[in-house]
Structure 1
Amino acid sequence: MKLKNSFVRQDSDDDNDLDEPVRSKIMTGYRFQLNDTLLEAQNSGALWVERLQLLCVSDLHLGKSDRLARSRGVLLPPYETMETLSRLADAITLFDPKIVVCLGDSFDDPLAENSLSETERDTLATLQAGREWIWIAGNHDPAPVSVAGQSKIAYSTSGLTFRHEATDNAFEISGHFHPKHKVPSGRLRPAFIHDTTRLIMPAFGLYTGGLPVKAPELQKWFPSGGIAVLCGGSRPLPVPF
């Protein structure tokens, strides 16, 4: 399936290019349209919608190390929440959005919300200040209750619908699956995947696994193929699949 993208900032299709340091966050976006709205997939895994002054991230999974310690006795370094918030702060500083949409599974389970340290809560409150902040319900976190912001099942604006998990409706932006992809001889990278009717976003949080784009759960939504936009190198790398 051939997709026409409105603009792609891309100089190389060599996977080795993905290992170079990120030189400029604002010049590495991959642009494409969904329902006549220009979207920009960022190398960090965030999505910028300039027309709406909206920043979207998916699957933060804050508090995952706490949940694993509580439920399984698995002890991981408990720094992922602050690191994820720091990466989110970088994106917010870059774009200064009016609206921030978190596409569900923002917390790793309902109790993880309560595990936030005072520093983490203060950091989150600072990021939220002066913005419309929307928490989309996920399968891990039905709705945050002790932090600021609006809780919604879905959020629709300007012909786009933001929700946690894909449905049969067109022009959706969703998350949930943590898609990953690679080029030949490369390693799996978090990836945006899109066609002309939908976008599924990568997980933004640390300590998150992923599902290859050719897994049946994802192929269901892209029967004719699409574009995987690999994150994590010097710039997003679009690869047809």
Structure 2
Amino acid sequence: MSAYAFTLAGAALTALPSGALHWADQGCLTVSDLHLGRSERYARRAGALLPPYEIVETLSRLDADLAATGAGMVICLGDTFDDLRAAELGEAHALWLARLMAGRRWVWIEGNHDPGPVGLGGEHRAELRLGPLTFRHIAETGAAGEVSGHYHPKARLAGQARPCFLVDDARVILPAYGTYTGGLSCDDRALAGLMAPGALAVLTGRVARAVPMPRRRGDG
């Protein structure tokens, strides 16, 4: 099996190799930190040129995950766009996203890069409570049953840094789903302070592979 199944607050969840989180019982797919329009923002603000294909690659992955899971609900955990101007999608990309949204409950959670793409329809929330789980952009200390993003966690396996989920008994932190997103090493103390001893890093790629969350010496 290429995905990784686990339970959080009684909810049976699956970490997909793509970086999406599937909650089959609720027909729900959750993604975080798509950062659509990053190459355009880099060109606009810094003059840096990146191949302008990240929107196509990210939406293609989302399209495939929705087809594979049949999810009728999507939660985007914030930072869907790299900034407000990047939310002004071109016609082809806007139509593609509208097709993905059609017939589904679509929830935009407010991020720190964008307040939620209010022109695209769907629901707009600071956070969402669904059954035993709370969905928000940034993890909160002491929370339980929490699903969040923001940190873009990465872990190394065989010398290669790969985006990963971080999972313990209280929360799951999702990797960045978008192309061209950077990442924070999961041995960073900001993440060590959030995740309990015994937490797992579930690496994305061809297979979702769980390993003990790497930590610096002395961080538990």
CA distance in 2 between partners of 1:46 and 1:230 (Å): 12
**What is the TM-score of this pair, normalised by structure 1?**
0.86
Work out which of the residue numbers 133, 140, 156 in structure 1 matches 2:113.
140
Alignment of 1:237 with 2:217, yes or no, is no
Cα deviation, 1:176-213, whole Å, max 9, x if unaligned, reads: 00001123x33111100110000000000000011111
CA distance in 2 between partners of 1:75 and 1:182 (Å): 27
Tell me which residue corresponds to 1:94. 68
Alignment of 1:38 with 2:48, yes or no, is no
Cα deviation, 1:146-192, whole Å, max 9, x if unaligned, reads: 21211111011111001000012211000000001123x33111100
CA distance in 1 between partners of 2:84 and 2:198 (Å): 35
The one-letter code matched in structure 2 to 1:157 is L
Structure 2 spans left out of the alignment, 5+ residues: 214-220
The one-letter code matched in structure 1 to 2:130 is T
Tell me which residue corresponds to 1:214. 187
CA distance in 1 between partners of 2:74 and 2:41 (Å): 25
Cα deviation, 1:34-85, whole Å, max 9, x if unaligned, reads: 0011000000001100111100001000011111111111121111011100
Tell me which residue corresponds to 2:153. 179
Q: Secondary structure at the match of 1:167?
A: coil
Please show how residues 1-241 of structure 1 align to structure 2 within 5 Å: 27-114=1-88, 116-168=89-141, 169-183=143-157, 185-233=158-206, 235-241=207-213
Cα deviation, 1:111-151, whole Å, max 9, x if unaligned, reads: 1001x111100100000000000010100001212212111
Q: 1:29 deviation in Å?
A: 1.3
Between the aligned residues of both structures, percent identity stands at 47
8 A contact 2:168–2:196 mirrored in 1: no
CA distance in 2 between partners of 1:66 and 1:186 (Å): 30
CA distance in 2 between partners of 1:209 and 1:61 (Å): 10
**What is the TM-score of this pair, normalised by structure 2?**
0.94
The one-letter code matched in structure 2 to 1:29 is A
The root-mean-square deviation of aligned C-alpha atoms, in Å, is 1.0
Q: Secondary structure at the match of 1:125?
A: helix
Structure 1 spans left out of the alignment, 5+ residues: 1-26
CA distance in 2 between partners of 1:28 and 1:46 (Å): 13
Q: 1:225 deviation in Å?
A: 3.8
Q: Which runs of 4+ in 1 moved over 3 A?
A: none
The one-letter code matched in structure 1 to 2:145 is F
CA distance in 2 between partners of 1:171 and 1:223 (Å): 13
**Count of residue correspondences:** 212
